[in-house]
């Protein structure tokens, strides 16, 4: 690129611009910056500004300058949802008059509570659902696992076998 006296130039490494006022050699120029300083600069550090290309949109909309005054937005890390819902299906906690219920009615109350808690977890920002069904004979545990299979949810039995964990 050929530079002449009077050309507008941009500095490649600095956020400055100026006008060529003297050609010292084919590779060195004296530039008067916008700040009023005269600087000797190598041709490798300059870019000639062609008329009409000195607008910011001449270089496209995704032009990046390291010295730009607009702070760049840092991408946010994906944060896992930390909400956990624990549901205890022990009948003592679900009904006051459980002494008068037979086993079928008790299991139905517990299953209904299980359905409600699964629906609540699926329709909110719950990350983990823990259903406490107790150890017992395994009737309620088998019913809970059958419900979770209907919803196609992956579940894990806790260490002691008294609870099932579901990661949504």
Question: pLDDT, tens digit, for every residue of 121-132?
Answer: 999 988 899 999
- Return the CATH number at 128: 3.30.1370
Does residue 78 form part of some domain? no
Q: What is the pTM assigned to this prediction? A: 0.52
- Asked if 33 and 93 sit in the same domain, the reply is no
* Judgement on whether residues 93 and 25 belong to the same structural domain of the protein: no
In a domain, 92, yes or no: yes
User: Mean pLDDT, to the nearest integer, of 151-156?
Assistant: 93
Banded pLDDT at 59 (limits 50, 70, 90): low
Classify residue 164 by burial, with Cβ atoms within 10 Å: 0-12, 13-18, 19+: buried
64 lies in some domain: no
Q: What residue numbers bound the domain in which 39 lies? A: 8-53
Residues 49 and 124 in one domain: no
User: Is 49 among the domain residues?
Assistant: yes
Residue 2 lies in a domain: no
CB 114 within 8 A of CB 155: no
Amino acid 144: pLDDT: 95
Q: Give the max Cα distance, the chain.
A: 105
In this prediction, residue 30 has a pLDDT band, given cuts at 50, 70 and 90, of very high
Let me know whether 88 and 162 are in one domain.
yes
Total tally of structural domains belonging to the chain? 2
Residues 95, 149 within the same domain: yes
- What confidence tier does 153 reach under pLDDT thresholds 50, 70, 90? very high
* 49 and 100 belong to one structural domain: no
CA distance 7 to 9: 6
Strand partners, 30: 22, 40
Residues ≥6 apart with Cβ < 8 Å to 8: 17, 18, 19, 48, 49, 54
What pLDDT was estimated at residue 62?
56
24 and 93 fall within a common domain: no
């Amino acid at each position: 690129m050929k530079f002449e006296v009077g050309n507008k130039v941009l500095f490649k490494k600095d956020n400055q611009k100026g006008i060529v006022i003297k050609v010292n050699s084919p590779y060195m120029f004296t530039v008067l910056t916008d700040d009023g300083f005269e600087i000797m600069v190598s041709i490798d550090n300059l870019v000639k500004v062609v008329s009409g290309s000195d607008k910011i949109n001449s270089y496209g909309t995704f032009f990046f300058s390291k010295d730009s005054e607009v702070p760049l937005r840092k991408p946010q890390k994906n944060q896992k949802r930390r909400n956990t819902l624990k549901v205890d299906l022990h009948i003592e906690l679900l009904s006051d008059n459980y002494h008068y219920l037979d086993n079928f009615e008790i299991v139905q109350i517990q299953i209904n509570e299980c359905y409600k808690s699964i629906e609540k977890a699926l329709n909110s920002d719950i990350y983990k659902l823990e259903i406490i069904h107790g150890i017992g004979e395994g009737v309620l545990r088998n019913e809970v696992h059958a419900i979770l299979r209907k919803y196609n949810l992956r579940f894990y039995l806790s260490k002691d076998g008294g609870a099932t964990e579901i990661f949504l």
